[in-house]
Amino acid sequence: MEVSVTMQATSGPGAVGVAPGVEVSGVSKTFRTSAGDVVALTDIDLEVRQGSFVSLVGPSGCGKSTLLRIVAGLETSSGGSTLVAGTPVDGPRRDFGMVFQQPVLLPWLTIFRNVMLPADVARDRSPQARKRAEDLLELVGLDGFQHRYPRELSGGMQQRAALVRALMSRPSLLLMDEPFGALDALTRETMNSELLRIWSETGATTLFVTHSISEAVFLSDVVVVLSGRPGTILDQVQIDLPRPRTFDVMDSPEASRLTNRIRGHLHARGAVG
Ligand SMILES: Nc1ncnc2c1ncn2[C@@H]1O[C@H](COP(=O)(O)OP(=O)(O)OP(=O)(O)O)[C@@H](O)[C@H]1O
């Protein structure tokens, strides 16, 4: 079956003459708490090319999720600006897809109804919406599980369903916060491969938070390394490993070099990601 999940014609690696997918300029974030101010991020400048896959790595608490939430419009910054496709972010948008560490599926709805939620919210009862849900479920290997409930699926399958739901509204920007952190190592590897396949078919600009350096290297075009809190950008490592990628690529000297470079930054500051 041929699945058409292509996003905007302007997206995809190699697109020219279009605004960057994401432009973060001078962003800072201070949380005001009863125990005092928590400076989570300072002076973040980041440009994510449209259609590219960029990962954020850094020690626990360095502000990775905060940065992702600012780009998603779920959190306001204390300073600086954030543009997505050239437009300032002032709240969540329909063309943003989010995937969290926990799949956040509604337990009383079947997988199909969970996946259809964005269409239901938009009151889209069209046959095209149903068809898209069916095609995406097939794309992630969940056809045949549509009428099951979340509790009847493994963690990896639930996370696939959450990914399908995020893709339902044809996001131009996919934001993923440690989506595979709760999965076992083998399932995580499978999900990494599947994510790359799906990403290459959708062309969505993807910003991905992970604690795993090897996961970041395997998936990304660029790995952004953040310092310990307050998070600042220590390095942006270009990952020029050939695509499409299989896990063999991680055995290459180039993958080791890149992994060591990232690890070196984090070790140098006594915080291993
Ligand atoms: N709503 C909030 N109120 C107060 N402090 C917060 C809030 N959200 C995050 N923080 C603080 O901001 C800092 C950055 O948090 P954040 O969750 O962004 O880090 P992280 O790098 O994603 O961490 P981890 O890798 O452990 O998930 C932390 O010190 C955290 O305690």
243-260 per-position pLDDT tens digit:
999 999 999 999 999 999
> In the predicted model, what is the mean pLDDT of residues 27-53?
96
The pTM of the full predicted model, rounded to 2 decimals, is 0.89
ipTM associated with this complex: 0.98
In the structure encoding, which two tokens stand for residue 83, read together?
Answer: 């543009």
How many A from CA of 61 to the centre of ligand 1? 5
Q: Write down the residue that tokens 């279009």 correspond to.
A: 18
Mutate to test the pocket of ligand 1, among 64, 215, 227 (most ligand atoms within 8 A of CB): 64
Please state whether beta strands 36-48 and 205-209 pair in parallel, antiparallel, or not at all (unpaired).
Answer: unpaired
Which residue owns the Cα nearest ligand 1 atom 11?
A: 40
Instruction: Band the pLDDT of 87: cuts 50, 70, 90.
Output: very high
pLDDT of residue 122: 86
Mutate to test the pocket of ligand 1, among 65, 70, 74, 215 (most ligand atoms within 8 A of CB): 65
Average model confidence (pLDDT) across the chain: 89
pLDDT of residue 201: 86
- Closest atom, ligand 1, to C-alpha of 69: 18
> In the predicted model, what is the mean pLDDT of residues 187-202?
90
Assess contact for 52 and 21: CB atoms under 8 A.
yes
pLDDT of residue 18: 57
- Closest atom, ligand 1, to C-alpha of 29: 12
pLDDT of residue 221: 97
Instruction: Band the pLDDT of 139: cuts 50, 70, 90.
Output: confident
pLDDT of residue 269: 62
Number of residues written out for the chain: 273
pLDDT of residue 270: 54
Instruction: Say whether pLDDT at 266 is over 70.
Output: yes
How many A from CA of 63 to the centre of ligand 1? 5
> In the predicted model, what is the mean pLDDT of residues 163-174?
90
- How is residue 246 annotated by DSSP? -
Using CB distances shorter than 6 Å, the residues near ligand 1 are 31, 33, 38, 40, 58, 60-66, 229
How many A from CA of 86 to the centre of ligand 1? 27
CA distance 237 to 225: 8
Least confident stretch, 10-19, 31-40, 127-136: 10-19
CA angle (124 as vertex; 120, 129 as ends), nearest 5: 95
> In the predicted model, what is the mean pLDDT of residues 147-153?
96
Q: Which of 101-105, 166-170, 186-190, 219-223 has the highest mean pLDDT?
A: 219-223
pLDDT of residue 260: 96
In the structure encoding, which two tokens stand for residue 237, read together?
Answer: 């490592």
- Closest atom, ligand 1, to C-alpha of 211: 25
How many A from CA of 256 to the centre of ligand 1? 30
pLDDT of residue 251: 96
- In order of start, what are the domains of the chain with their CATH numbers? 62-251+261-266 (3.40.50.300)
Which residue owns the Cα nearest ligand 1 atom 3?
A: 31
CA distance 224 to 232: 10
How many A from CA of 40 to the centre of ligand 1? 7
Higher pLDDT, 14 or 148: 148
pLDDT of residue 137: 93
Instruction: Say whether pLDDT at 218 is over 70.
Output: yes
Strand order in the sheet with 87-88: 36-48, 22-33, 79-84, 87-88
Instruction: Say whether pLDDT at 20 is over 90.
Output: no
How many A from CA of 67 to the centre of ligand 1? 10
